[in-house]
Structure 1
């Protein structure tokens, strides 16, 4: 509905199209209404047959009638015309408008679209010019228009200027001139809806399965009034925050009525009127009324539908143009406190008493106290006047799931009784979430997870256990795939975004009460989120009770071990930085830092338990793989957060625990992937620099631990394929860092190679008689090809060791150094000095009687040590 103020510039709308929808199946529908004037055919005659009203006198009569109707009936509209075109890109696309005599239900209108597109609809055609320009908007343009700070000056101004319904500012003359100059388009944003089949993937409004932006809207669609004794019935819709004592005329503005109804002129007002069907028996309606819901809803909030009988004829000056004939009430919250569900609603219309005297404003009806609660439980009497409507809630604040709504309701800012903060009440609300629908939990996951972590951080032991179990339950519901089918090493997108984007340690407050700043605990008194998670998780892992609930909780914690460990890691990092900021004021700090001893012990115990679970075959191979990879990625990440020694101890115990002669299944699916993740670490050279062990710095500790275990597998494992996999993994340890983007300079590559040189002695043992690199390998004559593969892969490892060392330094690794060895005198060296240290001492253990050789397509035999004459390719 556009008035003269809206028509100063061509109206524009921003619409969203889901990627799964086919453009050829999308249509733009335009509905046109006009001021109520009486019989539809008579009112439409000047538009349908303008030639009959071309004379000056007829034109003057039409102007006078329009002014009169606008003064008397300007707030009431009646259907006039409608049209449709396919929603496709184009300029000046013409739309045919067809005469609409009454309200058309949406189902019927959809069935008429095909005929309207082809122009064979039997209704009269309005001889009007209606053109559309349809263009697509890129995601970058949309983001620029929605999120760009208007106060920041920029040479490139956004093409779109989205109107804010809560501002009363109209486009200025400069804005209008800009739009005519194609510098900006003032548009209104149309809320997208998803069909029920697409809601799990795109959410209810197409923004995704999780609420990431604020929306809190109720859509009301009046449908029909049955057994109505009046004609020309208008419906006024209002949102009230408390009960009123009477329903009065159309001009009322009681404080109970909220200014929350979006109007078609892009403003927010206190009420809206549905279009009137002239002289209809059992009148129908086809309007959409959009209402902004408050964040805090009480049981007193309700929709008030007021029904008026409108007189189209001009009456005496002291007689109202309309009179109240009844009302209906729809509570916003149901019996259980949940917001009304999407669907159709029916209610009896309470008629105006026959003795009530019409007022100049249209009459009034007294209301008895408690009418909202009565409407919530009142049965429907089909023998009386019945009003029906449809409702649809689109909200990121209020859930239509009873369990989710009950859990979130105490946090909406309304005064809450002390009973909701009692331990039993908290546990009941937490455990009820496990019975809620996955769709609702996923949509409100970010909000739910925040408060669940709050209970886990600040609650009692019973509350913490319930919160931990609930956290696992909502993770399962938020996941795309059901438990048991998660892809190993991949975190669900919803859970990933929560951990790495949404979660903030400082925002996890005590949800049991709202504390004033004076009473809030200091940072040193707060329990960290990771501390609460570790403590509760360790209790779950150590719980040996055979109770099914405990066993299921333990299994779920293993299933989502990756999410829990990543959450612990981020909480740990934020907590360490927060503590340093508190203690040192303005001094800047960076990770890694030292973790407290108690937290270190707790974390190490949890990791030991998880490692044991990774090796427990009763958990099933899929769960073993998930826990195994989770621990490996966590061990990598924790090096970037803390500088304690416990990660090295955990990895060292894990590697030593590997049974080199164990079953091939465990080696292939558990142990090898763990080592694979470690050697692929982008900071593998840095981590190998030094690790504190008994106050002594051990160089290349991780590379040594991995290589020794792999070489032992190569030497002792009976299954040939496992041996091949082991030597390939060893080769990858050398090759991965050769292509590490962080260390591509020649100096860095040489330093990395020097770190690996202490491992040269271990490789050299395979040249002894009977070993892999000797001329004769007994017992493997029938496996010549596999042996050759092993030899080639092993030689490739040697090639990676040698290819990055400079020509000037390479000969020193093939002859012993004169003088006393310094290997027994470990000194404290920085990273650069440590590499020079390897240069001086590694020659003691790398002396051979002849150089190893390799063949290349261009040279039959090139000694690896002769780098002065030929440079090895990194294809090694």
Structure 2
């Protein structure tokens, strides 16, 4: 992207926001680091996930108010309440040495209690703060503009991960009663025990004996994401060790009762064997529930976390096969709250030992044989990190939010920092939890280490939301191999690009288990020792090439290894192969069964060579495995893939010039399943915009219609419910960068094709239902056009802009502006016609057109925008139907809220502010309207604008205030010319108008007023008559005190007998206080006896 949008400021309106990756960087894998020029769709996809967000800082307006004046609260005297008296009497019973300070005693009246001198008087009066807070003048711009119909609401920066909860897990230690003398390793993943499925990829860890310990290996944490707490979500922990030597020391030494410790000879054997045996076998597993399924013990699912994992980190389970049994932890109620900077230590002493290989699905099988538990403890440090906001600027690379966790210790007066737990006394407790402050251990607990492992959340693939990151890999899970003979069997997995020669090395695509190492040529499973039915639970992660071809395939090699100590390390022996072409298994999750070949002959993928192949087990499909495709580059949906292929052919000019295949692919997008469409929403929209920009007329129309269909589906089918869908807002506001100046801007082509459709409709041609959808999604297209213009403006003038100067307006080509005028005219006609029919779409479209003009005022020459405004006013000229007039007021309300409204020029060089003159004319016209609600709306627009100018920090100089007063001064003249219009207003409307008049007069200079008075004696008398009206309507009148709570200026329908003195601008409590104070004098209570 050009540096024009690198920062906001110095005349730049666009801010560049770096996109943060899950893994800490966005570098492509080796298999993707190749030229993508031959695959334009891949280039587009990679750009979508790598490009920075581009945000328009001016789009939603900006208002900086002056600081409110500070007032000192008065001190009031008043009688004590009954409860306060009782508290004082209670405290008087204590001796002075035991008496607590009165400062800590709460006051039921909201006042602080000061101890008075003890006297014989039974009536005590104290001093306190005023029950009425000091009134401070203020203008709430955000609140006022939120009341505008169709107001745009900005979205926060799109989250990298939309998970509301992140959990970090760190393995602290592994200890056995027998002693830790050989290396152990293991995996941790999130697991749903109810559905028996993985929720995340594996986090690998290694535990070495003390003499081999590498401290760096203990600092790494696994970061897991969760949508919400659920009792079915667990941590699945699986331990492994070096495969057992035949005739050597068996794993039973870790579970035996006597002798407890390893003999010296056993230690030596294990140490020597573990150094020469590179292959692993299953050792033990544990399944740790993260959340309780009930609220026993006072724990709440939301409010009372007993660990970092709200509501609790308990080992409770109803299944003996998981843990047998796990006692509920009785928690000290004072430490139920989690505070930032702390973590929970989980001690797992119920490691389930295994004697045979297994698959994960069998762990909860009630018929599964239970073995002796391991006599050891695995200690984990677990921390919960909230990720319920989307500020990616503050997100640490480990997935936590740096310096942004509320310290619960402050709320609870430090009580949550206690570290004691009650109830950890039972001998059958399998999990012990102890709270510790991680800062006391010399490190921060917010998972900020760049070496942290961000476990991929598999649920990303099933969510109906756009992909935000680049990921392109395949997870392979070998499950079972059924043979007729017992073997010590393990499986090697590799990725190959063709089948020409098995002796060629495979692709370096397999992710290693060790950190900071390069991708490997292959990965292998554990050893299934001495069994005919070998079972596995290993996960092999493979990076995929950028483009999958029919030749890409997996090769599984089956090895038998003799587990005996001889003169050299045991050597594996190949017993067979299995082959899986990837192009035939493009699914999110697939279970596959394959036969095993004795040998691989050249060109083994071809059908012709399969007749010469020799199979094990009579060619039966004895090898079962599971595949999980995780890719934001390769869509599973076939229609999307076809569109990408045809897009490439068109872009590279390798398709026929008429492009019928591309047209068919574009039209088929409307039949794409909703989730798949949302996941690839951004690249699909980019490609369609590319075709709209430089495709032929037929392609332009087809791409535009497809885009309208997609936008309508996204708006209707996503569960957002808002008028502006958040996914579409995020695309326009952040993701769309008009192709980073790599091609021509989008707006000329978009306005052309849309304008052509609108003109066809205006001429009476049949355009189909797509036109109504275009009107419903007009906000998206118009905001897209505006951003495209703004980006071109920034890129054109960035390098030539003197320091500190604003970017000059973008000069639109005459043909483009004429097209915009025609399109605007067609849309105005739709608003006009549909308003008469009472359709809600018309009012939304009216607000959309207003915001279009609002946005253009900051980009193109304002006088060109005035032509659009003038076109609007001509279409809605005079006192039109009520609903049309309401649309006109809303249009002006939006336009006049522009940041630079005061500084706008006239339509002619000799004129002053064009918009203000139009506003005053229309406001006065509305005041003469019969519709009370519109009169109130017009008056309110004027008051809000005057307030906005008054408190605007930019216009605090006297000359600025004078200029603003002169802009609005013609309104007074119009009122003086048509005084009956003023007299026909009700009291509330008169007050709104008079407030504006007073504010104008207040800031006018003497010369202007004198000049106005000198024009006509009659007008001068009328002017002072208006001032008399001010006295009447703002005078404090006791007869109207019963109307202190009077009707709001927003509800002027009811005419009241007297003028209310205060409006709903004051809080209800203030209104109530004023009302009561005006009715009654405060009477001092008689002394109590």
Q: Answer yes or no: same fold by TM over 0.5.
A: yes
Deviation, 1:266, is 5.7
Q: How does 1:837-876 map to 2 (within 5 A)?
A: 851-854=1027-1030, 855=1032
Deviation at 1:391, TM superposition (A): 1.8
Structure 1 residues 416 and 578: alpha-carbon distance in aligned structure 2, compared to 1, 3 A threshold: closer
- Calculate the TM-score normalised by the size of structure 2: 0.60
Aligned with residue 81 of structure 1, among 278, 284, 301? 284
**Take 2:804 and 2:365, find their aligned partners in 1: how far apart are those partners?**
70
Q: 1:849 to 1:650 in 2, by over 3 A?
A: same
Residue 757 of structure 1 and its aligned partner are, at CA, apart by 0.8
The question of whether the paired residues in 2 share the 8 Å contact of 1:210 and 1:443 is answered with: yes
Match of 2:463? 200
Q: Distance in 1 between matches of 2:551 and 2:933?
A: 72
Q: Normalization by structure 1: what TM-score? A: 0.73
Mean Cα deviation higher: 604-613 or 237-246: 237-246
1:133 alignment partner, one of 375, 378, 381? 381
Change (3 A) 1:373 1:802: farther
Conserved? CA contact 1:296–1:414, under 8 Å: no
Check conservation: 2:233, 2:289, Cα contact below 8 A.
yes
Contact 1:704–1:759 (8 Å) recurs in 2 = no
Structure 2 CA distance for partners of 1:858 and 1:42, relative to 1, 3 Å = farther
CA contact (8 A) 1:179 1:185 kept: no
Matched, 1:710 2:966: no
Superposed displacement of residue 626, structure 1: 2.5
How big is the shift at 1:661?
Answer: 4.7
Once the two structures are TM-superposed, the CA of residue 93 in structure 1 deviates from its matched residue by: 2.5
Pair 1:497 & 2:730 matched = yes
Query: Which piece of structure 1 moves more, 277-286 or 792-801?
Result: 792-801
Count of aligned pairs between the two proteins: 735
**Counterpart check, 1:734 vs 2:934:** no
Rounded to whole Å, the distance in 1 between the matches of 2:607 and 2:525 is 23
In structure 2, what is the equivalent of residue 44 of structure 1? 251
Residue 222 of structure 2 aligns with which residue?
14
The 2-side partners of 1:709 and 1:466 are apart by 42
- Structure 2 Cα separation of the partners of residues 8 and 420 of structure 1: 63
Cα displacement (A) at 1:666: 3.8
Determine if the alignment matches structure 1 residue 401 to structure 2 residue 637.
yes
Moved more, 756-765 or 619-628: 619-628
Separation in structure 1 between the aligned mates of residue 358 and residue 606 of structure 2, nearest angstrom: 33
Deviation, structure 1 residue 289: 1.6
Higher relative contact order (CA 8 A, sep 6+): 2
Q: Deviations over 1:293-325 (max 9, x none)?
A: 2223222222222222333345797x9743323
DSSP 3-state at the match of 1:573: helix
What is the CA-CA distance between 1:79 and the residue it aligns to? 0.6
Does residue 365 (structure 1) correspond to residue 600 (structure 2)? The answer is yes
Tell me how far apart the structure 2 counterparts of residues 179 and 549 of structure 1 sit (CA, whole Å): 74
Superposition pairs of residues 91-490 of structure 1, within 5 angstroms: 91-96=344-349, 97-109=351-363, 122-137=370-385, 143=394, 145-146=396-397, 181-182=442-443, 185=449, 187-195=451-459, 199-200=462-463, 209-226=465-482, 229-246=485-502, 254-264=504-514, 267=517, 268-313=519-564, 321-334=571-584, 340-352=586-598, 365-371=600-606, 384-409=620-645, 418-419=654-655, 423-479=659-715, 487-488=722-723
**Once the 2 structures are TM-superposed, how far is the Cα of residue 99 of structure 1 from its aligned partner?**
0.6
- Please give the root-mean-square deviation of Cα atoms over the aligned residues, in Å: 4.5
Deviations 1:400-455 (A, max 9, x none): 11122233357899998923886223323322322222222222222222222222
- Give the conservation status (yes or no) of the 8 Å contact 2:674–2:717: no
Measured in 2, the distance between the counterparts of 1:37 and 1:122 equals: 20
SS at match of 2:808: coil
SS at match of 1:303: strand
CA pair 700-431 structure 1, distance change in 2 beyond 3 A: same
Mean CA deviation greater in 790-799 or 364-373 = 364-373
Mapped contact 2:991–2:1033 kept (Cα < 8 A): no
**Distance of 1:383 and 1:147 partners within structure 2:** 48
Show CA shifts across 1:120-139 (max 9, x none): x9542222232122234576
Residue 373 (structure 1) shift: 11
Q: Secondary structure at the match of 2:225?
A: coil
> What is the distance in 2 between the residues matched to 1:604 and 1:545?
14
Q: 8 Å contact 1:345–1:388 — kept in the other structure?
A: yes
Q: Secondary structure at the match of 2:495?
A: strand
Between Structure 1 and Structure 2, the one with more helix by share is: 1
On the 8 A contact 1:530/1:568 being kept in 2, the answer is yes
Distance 1:145 1:795, change over 3 A: closer
Query: Deviations 1:313-368 (Å, cap 9, x if unpaired)?
Result: 45797x9743323222222223xxxx72122322322331xxxxxxxxxxx53243
The partner residue of 2:1014 within 816, 825, 833 is 816
Look up the match of 1:655: 873
1:826 paired residue number: none
Distance 1:529 1:431, change over 3 A: same
1:661–1:856 distance in 2 versus 1, CA, 3 Å: closer
- The residue that corresponds to 2:783 in the other structure is 566
- Name the CA shift for 1:549/1:296 in 2 (closer, same or farther; >3 Å): farther
Q: 1:521 is matched with which residue?
A: none
- Is 1:63 matched up with 2:268? yes
Whole-Å separation in 1 of the counterparts to 2:220 and 2:898: 52
Residues 416 and 308 (structure 1 numbering): CA distance in 2 closer, same or farther, change over 3 Å? farther
User: Could you tell me how far 1:44 is from its partner in structure 2?
Assistant: 0.8
Cα distance in 2 for partners of 1:217, 1:193 equals 13
Distance 1:658 1:699, change over 3 A: same
Distance verdict in 2 for CA 1:573–1:539, change over 3 Å: same
Structure 2, unaligned runs of 5 or more: 1-184, 186-205, 291-306, 309-342, 400-438, 1039-1060, 1067-1089
Q: Which residue of 1 aligns with 2:906?
A: 691
C-alpha contact (below 8 Å) 1:3/1:265 kept by paired residues? no
* Secondary structure at the counterpart of residue 305 of structure 1: strand
Partner Cα separation in structure 2 for residue 80 and residue 41 of structure 1: 16
- Determine the C-alpha separation between the residues in 1 that align with 2:977 and 2:592: 87
How big is each residue's C-alpha offset from its partner over 1:773-807, in whole Å with a ceiling of 9 and x where there is no partner? Answer: 33xx5xxxxxxxx833333333333234334446x
Shift of 1:692: 3.2
Alignment of 1:595-634 (within 5 A): 595-617=812-834, 621-634=839-852
Does the C-alpha gap of structure 1 residues 228 and 617 become closer, same or farther in structure 2, counting only changes over 3 Å?
A: farther
How much has 1:760 moved relative to structure 2?
Answer: 1.8
Compute the displacement of 1:235 (Å): 1.2
Secondary structure of the structure 2 residue equivalent to 1:200: coil
Q: Distance in 2 between matches of 1:737 and 1:372?
A: 80
Are the counterparts in 2 of residues 816 and 847 from structure 1 also a CA contact under 8 Å?
Answer: no
- Following superposition, the deviation at residue 281 of structure 1 comes to 3.1
Distance 1:492 1:601 in 2: 30
Aligned mates of 1:766, 1:382 — CA distance in 2: 104
Cα distance, 1:532 vs. partner? 0.6
